[in-house]
């Protein structure tokens, strides 16, 4: 295999049963797909299930991926999105908010106060993201976190860029409203919160 084999070639070899090719594909896209699924669903276990099914669909139904329409990364995002939506429908609810303990414990060298504040902010951001409607949530995750362009987000969501812009706009409005105390325009309030949090801590 060349040093940087194309996704299509890897997929072809994987479809023929070559595990190394499949794992190479997995290593390439595992993290973004898992991050996307995790931020969309809010659960590590469910995100792992989605990632697993998403990659397995490559060998089960390789014909579904058509390189002339979109890149493999976009395809995987779309597959993960559909699996996540299926999960929403199956669960009858949109998010699970009772899994705060699964938050990554960032081992920073910062002081305990900073750590407490960061964790609090991460929790607030997480809750704000998960409280968005699913379509706005996926738009903001793909655009802000995963760095996809508007057209790529539109391809994943199966709509046009104008709709994605509208969703992003509304999502940002909602996020600004929910995270107002933490934005720079509210530095004083943010400081006040830190003091209060410090006392509580």
Partner 1 sequence: MGFQPEDEIGSDNELKRVLNRWVAPKPSGLLVERIKTSFEREFSGAGKEVVSMKFCSVCKEEFADKFSFCPVDGTPLTTVTAPVEEPSVTVNRDPSATINRDTVAESASAFHREPVETGPAWIPPSNTSSAIALRDEYHLTIMDDTGLLPRLFHEVGDEYNLTWPEFKRDPFGFTKRAFVGYGQAFRKFVAKPNVMLGMGAAVFAMLALVGVVMLMDRAQGANSSRAGLIVFALLAGGLLVALFSTMLGRERGAAVMGAEPSDSRTVVAGMVTSFAFLFAILGVIIWLDHKHKQQELLAQNNDELQVEQMIDIPNEQPTPDPGTAGLNKGSGGGSKPKQERPGGGGGGGREEAKPASFGKTPQASLEVPQIIPPDPKPPQIKNPALPVPATLNADPMLIPPDARVLPYGDPKSKSTDLSSGPGKGNGIGDGTGTGIGPGEGNGFGPGRGGNVGGGDFNAGGGGPGGGGGGDYSKIFTGKDVTTKARLISKPEPQYTEDARKNQIVGTVVLKCVFSSSGQVTGISVRSGLPYGLTERAIAAARNIKFEPATKDGHKVSMWMQLEYNFNLY
Select 5 or 144, whichever has its Cβ closest to partner 1.
144
Q: Residue 95 CB, nearest distance to partner 1 (Å)?
A: 14
Select 144 or 194, whichever has its Cβ closest to partner 1.
144
Q: Residue 200 CB, nearest distance to partner 1 (Å)?
A: 19
Q: Residue 2 CB, nearest distance to partner 1 (Å)?
A: 22
Select 10 or 14, whichever has its Cβ closest to partner 1.
14
Select 5 or 121, whichever has its Cβ closest to partner 1.
121
Select 8 or 118, whichever has its Cβ closest to partner 1.
118
Q: Residue 183 CB, nearest distance to partner 1 (Å)?
A: 6
**Rounded CA separation 68/167 (Å):** 27
Q: Residue 188 CB, nearest distance to partner 1 (Å)?
A: 16
């Amino acid at each position: 295999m060349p040093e940087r084999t194309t996704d299509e070639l890897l997929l072809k070899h994987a479809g023929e049963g070559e595990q190394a090719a499949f794992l190479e594909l997995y290593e390439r896209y595992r993290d973004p797909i898992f991050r996307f699924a995790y931020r969309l669903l809010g659960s590590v276990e469910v995100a792992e299930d989605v990632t697993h099914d998403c990659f397995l669909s490559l060998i089960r139904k390789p014909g579904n991926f058509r390189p002339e329409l979109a890149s493999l990364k976009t395809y995987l995002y779309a597959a993960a999105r559909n699996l996540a939506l299926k999960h929403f429908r199956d669960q009858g609810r949109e998010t699970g908010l009772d899994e705060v303990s699964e938050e990554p414990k960032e081992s920073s060298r910062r002081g305990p106060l900073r750590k407490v504040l960061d964790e609090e902010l991460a929790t607030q951001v997480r809750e704000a993201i998960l409280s968005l409607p699913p379509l706005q949530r996926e738009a903001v995750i793909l655009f802000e976190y995963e760095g996809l362009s508007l057209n790529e987000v539109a391809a994943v969501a199966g709509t046009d860029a104008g709709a994605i812009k509208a969703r992003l706009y509304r999502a940002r409005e909602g996020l600004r409203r929910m995270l107002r105390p933490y934005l720079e325009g509210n530095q004083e309030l943010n400081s006040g919160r830190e003091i209060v949090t410090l006392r509580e801590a």
